[in-house]
A and B are shown apart, each in its own frame.
Chain A
């Protein structure tokens, strides 16, 4: 099957009556799962996969991928409207989304987020399509040395996140790295920092930590200050005004097309690298958006670029993440493991045979990502209005309701009561960090990248010796990291002199 035949057949299947209804149901289901805090794409796929046994290959895969593709969109909606990340990958959206809502521009933020998601997903899917001839080579490009250096490069973005207070951001990032060390060490099989608790032997789960740091902390803050969730907004926006704002937001995403492209490229690249994940991608994209913006000082205070950056990256991850699953049957995340199971269930094999004989299915996946996100965007827009009414409710009413939802979300991921405790503890930590002006984003980046850094550093040292970083690609990445750091330090010094 040539690429062109695969593309045509894949497209015709995706819009056929046998597939499109399943794709749409999957996409809407994914959107709803994304909106509910704590439930992730992994959950949506796990629910969807049980229906696959009786389905045709194309419909089944479209249903499964559809449910995964739109989760980040739904999560962005919750992040902006309720200061609660719907999924881990939306945590970066919290930095600028809620401040926009507080200014009465919730519609603009949501419109921009939704459109960025769609554009990012499309970008990622197109890159995946373009890479098909060299997919295997691209996936094998990243070995332990490359991943270590990539992770270090990502960590330096911390410097940008908290440029106002570099030292505090670095403290937070290093604390994040330490938090990642908790649990059973995969190399020596020794417990670290578990205090004898079996629940800690797998380490802290990402979802309760994120929910605690951002959502629970926000609830504490709101409870303390009182008023409505959207500060300074006393009356909910009218339906007509919301609509106008959404269109303005969509327009802004298209106007910032160059930023969308760059952040999507970051997202896709991180998707291909195993083990970095979409939460890291969105923070790195946020750092990049801030670094390159003309209005750096308004970031964190409701700059729409701070919404567009992470939201385009977290959906662009999709295209990259699918690559290793299709090319080798090697899943890079738990969601992709479910996709792999799904492909087996409908009787498809991955690897060269899929790339040669079932190229149409690869294109069904690609078109599902694009069409699913389009559906998600359209449906999401209709959800904004009813949901945004809740944001004008008084704290006494909304805080208990949201707390219940958030803590249920923390529990739902692994069905562990322990995770509710984790969310509350990190809620206190997050609140203190907010009050004392430490970057929670930096802590989270350290935490997310900690796993990847440690594992790959160990393997790189074992496989390539102590000088693994002198190989061409890692060396290039290392030099780039140094240059980036140097540039930032110099600009800080320059700013100080000027002040």
Chain B
């Protein structure tokens, strides 16, 4: 009781100068604050790979619309968690932003793994760059051609995956049991390229991955896409059924609906651009506006399209709702999801 009281006093004392500071900050025009200032953009992974490409591609356009210099910094570690923590803990002055692996950070938070200092629902968001459409691909060397084949297989399908909690793993262990696919998930590969190599060798028969990286393999005849994660079929893969089309037809459709919805919400988080909690509202609004303009810049869109990189922008407030929704689960669904992530299924 006494501690709470003390905390209240401290908070009140601390708040007094903050209120004045906030007033000053509002007075100072956000645009003039960013003019010739330096924004640090954190990438939680090493150079090379999607997060790095997306960040370095957008940086010049964000410079164009904020007037600030954008310094791109790679801060790899703990599967992207080090960078996510760093963004969360950064000073809330609006000068530190970063891209995060939304889905992975949600699964880490849900499964309460050690080292999580961030709260996905408390970040400020500039918006989302892309949410990977997840697809299940099956090797051309395997006897399976469609998702029905997998459901009807008389032996376990060997599905390759990276570590526990990684997207390739979580997708497989949630959708497989829900839709009655007999599968043996072999995890422990370094990354999705590593799984792909194993599939080319014939060591594994299927894997979950992003549509973007799967399309080239389809053209090359390496594998076929049998199912996609979005409820609505993507214009890039209109002939591929959605996994929800199968889920609805299952005899236990009502029973599996909540876990499938939770998985859907997880996928929607995608790759958001976040700032620490508590960034002054006018600055956040300015950054959100600049980010929206950068994402819509014709030159940027053309460059990304030419390089075959998907974009699926949503604005900051929407992103915040998506992020919150992904962690607000019923106890039952949460338990199932956590068990799947921890490899207890």
Residues of A that sit less than 8 Å from B by CB: 42, 45-46, 49-50, 53, 139-140, 143-144, 184, 186-189, 191, 196, 198-199, 201-202, 274-275, 324, 328-331, 334-341, 344-345, 347, 349, 351-353, 414-416, 455, 458-459, 462-463
Contact = CB atoms under 8 A, between A and B. Distances in A.
B154 interface: no
Given A189-B164, A341-B49, A345-B307, A351 B203 contact: no
Contacts of B308: 344, 349
Nearest to B52: A341
Contacts of A196: 114
B47 A188 contact: no
6 contacts: A189-B165, A191-B114, A328-B200, A347-B307, A459-B186, A463-B186
A455 B343 contact: no
B246 interface: no
Nearest to A325: B193
Given A188-B164, A189-B342, A274-B197, A455 B48 contact: no
Nearest to A52: B56
B163 interface: yes
Interface stretch (B3-11, B73-81, B142-150, B233-241): B73-81
B218 to A, nearest CB: 12
B194 interface: yes
A189 B77 CA distance: 15
B306 interface: yes
Interface in B63-83: 72-79, 82
B307 A202 contact: no
Contacts of A351: 216, 220
A144 B189 CA distance: 10
Nearest to B57: A53
B163 A337 contact: no
Interface in B151-188: 158, 162-165, 186-188
Given A202-B77, A345-B53, A46 B193 contact: no
B318 interface: no
A211 B219 CA distance: 45
B48 A337 contact: yes
A140 B47 CA distance: 26
A188 B343 contact: yes
A155 B48 CA distance: 30
B82 A198 contact: yes
A337 B200 contact: no
Nearest to B113: A189
Contact of B74 (A46, A53, A198, A347): A46
Given A329-B216, A351-B220, A353-B220, A186 B49 contact: no
Interface residues of B, number: 49
Given A328-B197, A331-B193, A352-B220, 20 more contacts: A46-B46, A46-B48, A49-B48, A184-B78, A187-B164, A189-B163, A189-B343, A198-B115, A201-B77, A337-B46, A338-B48, A341-B53, A344-B53, A353-B219, A414-B75, A455-B188, A459-B186, A459-B198, A459-B203, A463-B158
A455 B194 CA distance: 12
A279 to B, nearest CB: 17
Contact of A143 (B72, B186, B190, B198): B198
A431 to B, nearest CB: 28
B201 interface: yes
B56 A198 contact: no
A352 B220 CA distance: 7
Contacts of A339: 48
B47 A341 contact: yes
A50 B197 CA distance: 28
A187 B77 CA distance: 17
Nearest to B73: A415
Interface string B97-136: 0000000000000000111000000000000000000000
Given A416-B77, A455-B188, A186 B163 contact: yes
Contacts of B343: 188-189
B197 A338 contact: no
Nearest to A459: B188
Contacts of A199: 77
Contacts of A45: 47-48
Contacts of A344: 53, 307-309
Contacts of B196: 328, 330
A331 B46 CA distance: 13
A133 to B, nearest CB: 17
A455 B197 CA distance: 15
B52 A202 contact: no
Contacts of A324: 197
A353 B219 CA distance: 10
A187 B53 contact: no
A136 B49 CA distance: 22
A186 B188 contact: yes
Contact of B190 (A53, A202, A353, A455): A455
Contacts of B164: 187-189
B335 interface: no
Nearest to B158: A463
B15 interface: no
B303 interface: yes
Nearest to B341: A189
A201 B48 contact: no
A187 B163 contact: yes
Interface in B291-311: 303, 306-309
Contacts of B219: 353
Nearest to A143: B201
Contacts of A334: 46-48
Contacts of A144: 198, 203
A275 B190 contact: yes
Nearest to A418: B77
A264 to B, nearest CB: 25
B115 A330 contact: no
B306 A347 contact: yes
Contact of B186 (A201, A414, A462): A462
B49 A337 contact: yes
B188 A187 contact: yes
Contact of B78 (A198, A330, A352): A198
A143 B201 CA distance: 7
Interface string B41-65: 0000011110011001100000000
Nearest to B217: A351
Contacts of A416: 77
Contacts of B46: 42, 46, 334, 337
A61 B157 CA distance: 40
A267 to B, nearest CB: 21
B337 to A, nearest CB: 15
Contacts of A328: 196-197, 200
